[in-house]
């Protein structure tokens, strides 16, 4: 969802980006602070059961992913390093969000089944990103699927917030089960996509 509305949010947050540029703040610094904020918000609040507050903190810093890209484009500094840093730290933030929920279910939440499901979401999310990165390193494409990163992140944050505020625990449980299945399907979809491209490339040789 964030990807689909990146232009909208970019325009909305452009005053913040320009303000940071005037202060001499670099896009890389925004990326690092954003990841630190997401990680602290998830790992400090989720394990203690303060889910809605954790979501608010995480969401504020998640938008740094849009601000840093806007800043880089304004400066004309889009680079391989910036793209690598942004992508790598995205994985750190994702791990913190799902890891914080894993700790909650393992401790205060006392639900070993959802702990395992959340851990599976974390692993499949990382594998989804790896599948794309590895394919691209081989000159192939592995985009798409029914559960891309932005969709996973928005879904889990929104349902974590509402499940806590409305005291409807099933909302988060249902979302995690759906994401576990959808992420697994996405990995399979990307594997099939890469396999097809590989077969075609081999046939041309």
- Token match 């938008």: residue? 63
User: d(Cα 75, Cα 37) in Å, to the nearest integer?
Assistant: 24
Please report the DSSP string for 86-124 in residue order: HHHHHHHHHHHHHHHHHHHHHTTT--HHHHHHHHHHHHH
Kindly give, in sequence order, each residue whose CB lies less than 8 Å from that of residue 127, ignoring residues fewer than 6 positions away.
183, 187
Given 65, 86, 90, 151, the catalytic residue:
90
> Is 90 an active-site residue?
yes
What phi, psi does 201 have (nearest 5°)? Answer: -65, -40
User: d(Cα 161, Cα 139) in Å, to the nearest integer?
Assistant: 40
User: d(Cα 162, Cα 169) in Å, to the nearest integer?
Assistant: 9
Residues taking part in catalysis: 90
């Amino acid at each position: 969802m964030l990807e689909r509305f990146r232009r909208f949010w970019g325009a909305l947050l452009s005053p913040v980006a320009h303000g940071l540029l005037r202060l001499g703040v670099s896009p890389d610094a925004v990326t690092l602070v954003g990841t630190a904020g997401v990680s602290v918000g998830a790992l400090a609040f989720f394990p203690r059961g303060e889910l809605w507050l954790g979501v608010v903190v995480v969401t504020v810093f998640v938008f740094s992913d849009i601000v840093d890209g806007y800043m880089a484009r304004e400066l004309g500094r889009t680079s391989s390093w910036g793209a690598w840093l942004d992508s790598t730290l995205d994985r750190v933030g994702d791990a913190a969000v799902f890891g914080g929920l894993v700790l909650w279910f393992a401790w205060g939440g006392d639900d070993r089944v959802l702990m395992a499901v959340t851990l599976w979401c974390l692993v499949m999310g990382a594998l989804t990103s790896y599948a794309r990165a590895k394919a691209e390193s081989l000159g192939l494409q592995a985009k798409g699927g029914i559960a891309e990163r932005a969709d996973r992140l928005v879904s889990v944050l929104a349902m974590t917030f509402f499940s806590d505020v409305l005291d409807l625990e099933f909302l988060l449980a249902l979302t995690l089960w759906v994401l576990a299945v959808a992420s697994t399907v996405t990995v399979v979809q990307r594997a099939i996509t890469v396999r097809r491209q590989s077969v075609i490339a081999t046939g041309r040789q």
